[in-house]
């Protein structure tokens, strides 16, 4: 028979139980979380982690999208292609000439294809983020306009 008896110690409780073999099982359980974990958001107006520097103004979103377009995407593309020529030369050097060639050639080619796929995925993600930053203001503005259009103007007859 197993019986749990919690013994409270501040925010923790120590749980003891008697196992069928006569041994005591002891464990600690957290009864509550400390006030500020720095994790999740405490309200929609307070960002996760307590950060207060998240860009939320239209100008900051526009600047972030511009930075992605003018700097981050081109630099990522350039960095992703940096090893293309050298890798192709090495694959060719280790490849079959008069015989089978080295296994290294195939492994390098495969690794470089994986690298290229990862660069493409990163560029796709950057493009999606850029698009989301640019469209966020439009979506919010259109929502505000739709709500405003749906609200009926007060009439003088409403007082009767």
Please list the ranges in the chain whose pLDDT falls under 70: 1-55, 137, 139-141, 144-145, 152
pTM for the model: 0.53
d(CA 142, CA 81): 40
- Say what the pLDDT of residue 22 is: 58
Give φ, ψ of 16 to 5 degrees.
Answer: -120, 145
- Say what the pLDDT of residue 96 is: 84
Contact 130, 65 (CB under 8 A): yes
Contact 61, 131 (CB under 8 A): no
Contact 5, 21 (CB under 8 A): no
- Say what the pLDDT of residue 43 is: 46
């Amino acid at each position: 028979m197993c019986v749990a008896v919690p013994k409270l110690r501040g925010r923790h409780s120590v749980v003891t139980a008697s196992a069928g073999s006569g041994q005591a099982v002891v464990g600690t359980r957290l009864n509550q979380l400390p006030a500020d974990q720095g994790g999740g958001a405490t309200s929609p107006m307070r960002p996760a982690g307590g950060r207060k520097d998240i860009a939320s103004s239209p100008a900051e979103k526009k600047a972030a999208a511009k930075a992605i377009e003018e700097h981050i995407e081109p630099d990522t593309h350039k960095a992703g292609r940096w090893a293309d020529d050298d890798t192709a030369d090495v694959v060719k050097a280790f490849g079959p000439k008069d015989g089978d060639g080295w296994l290294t050639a195939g492994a390098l080619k495969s690794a470089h294809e994986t690298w290229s796929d990862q660069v493409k995925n990163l560029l796709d993600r950057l493009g999606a983020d850029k698009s989301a930053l640019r469209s966020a203001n439009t979506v919010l503005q259109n929502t505000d306009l739709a709500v405003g259009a749906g609200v009926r103007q007060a009439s003088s007859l409403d007082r009767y």
